């Protein structure tokens, strides 16, 4: 992959998803896209770029996005957030309908972790979770709710037994999230760089974790302030411990590092 070819892909994914790829990512991009060149029997990355943006191949652009977006997650990642969610948000909630948005849900582990915490604390009361991502590939995994057992290092065994079904025979080594939880969690594609869907509604809590690290400062500001419009007054906005909203927005009050509240 030439520097010029990398620059074209870098600009494409930045304009579409806000992801800022550094020059050090050139080898990674070339490696991930090599299989698509083989698939179409192309010799040059420039040829694949033209194909991916061509109206003659309408699904290939989404395939390109799926390949270049990073999706790494697991159950109960950054557990302090779920402790705060339980102790300081759910225990004092007295509303009628509690809504949470996992705004970069990847393969669904965060959304289902939230569902377990909600089920434990709010039981059969009126609550729901919406999970979104840019990648259609990971959304399909999330909707099925089937995961390898080795993704459960941080999960309480009691919750595993209560909310997950272990696979047998051909599904041995896997588990599926119980249907009662899956029925409370909906997944759909949302591009955080675009206007939010009118049907989205507003949320009590928004999780936007391990996403801002891929954005430059201007993109962070755009994305965060767009999502704040979907947060109810008094609602909470949670980012990763490795991220910060310093100089990103003045519309949120920091309660503690990575946890914010909308006045």
Closest listed residue to residue 214, CA positions, set 194, 200, 193 = 193
Q: Which residues, other chains included, contact 263 with Cβ-Cβ below 8 Å and sequence gap of 6+? A: 233, 234, 253
Q: How far apart are CA 111 and CA 187, in angstroms?
A: 9
| Catalytic member of 8, 32, 176, 261 | 32
Tokens of 17: 């998803």
User: Are the beta carbons of 218 and 113 closer than 8 angstroms?
Assistant: no
| Catalytic member of 10, 99, 133, 182 | 133
Using alpha carbons, list the distances in angstroms from residue 33 to 55, 117, 135: 19, 38, 16
Catalytic site includes residue 150: no
Using alpha carbons, list the distances in angstroms from residue 55 to 14, 50, 59, 77, 232: 20, 10, 9, 39, 40
Q: Can you give the length of the chain in residues?
A: 263
Tokens of 158: 């009691």
Q: How far apart are CA 45 and CA 203, in angstroms?
A: 42
Q: Which residues are catalytic?
A: 32, 133
């Amino acid at each position: 992959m030439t520097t010029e070819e990398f620059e074209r892909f870098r600009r494409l994914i930045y304009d579409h998803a806000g992801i800022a790829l550094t020059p050090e990512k050139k080898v990674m991009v070339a490696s991930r896209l090599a299989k698509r060149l083989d698939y179409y029997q192309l010799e040059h990355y420039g040829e694949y770029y033209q194909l991916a943006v061509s109206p003659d191949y309408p699904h290939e652009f989404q395939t390109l996005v799926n390949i270049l977006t990073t999706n790494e997650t697991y159950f109960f990642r950054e557990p302090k957030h779920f402790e705060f969610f339980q102790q300081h948000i759910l225990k004092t909630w007295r509303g009628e309908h509690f809504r949470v948005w996992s705004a970069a849900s990847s393969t669904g582990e965060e959304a289902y972790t939230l569902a377990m915490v909600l089920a434990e604390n709010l039981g059969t009361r009126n609550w729901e979770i919406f999970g979104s991502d840019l990648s259609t590939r990971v959304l399909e995994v999330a909707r099925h709710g089937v995961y390898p057992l080795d993704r459960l290092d941080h999960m309480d065994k009691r919750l595993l037994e209560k909310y997950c079904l272990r696979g047998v025979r051909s599904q041995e080594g896997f588990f599926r999230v119980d249907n009662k939880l899956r029925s409370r969690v909906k997944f759909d594609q949302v591009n955080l760089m675009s206007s939010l869907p009118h049907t989205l509604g507003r949320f009590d809590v928004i999780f936007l974790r391990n996403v801002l690290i891929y954005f430059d400062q201007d993109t962070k500001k755009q994305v965060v302030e767009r999502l704040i419009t979907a947060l109810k007054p008094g609602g909470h906005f949670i980012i990763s411990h490795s991220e910060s909203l310093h100089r990103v927005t003045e519309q949120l009050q920091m309660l503690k590092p990575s946890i914010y509240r909308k006045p």
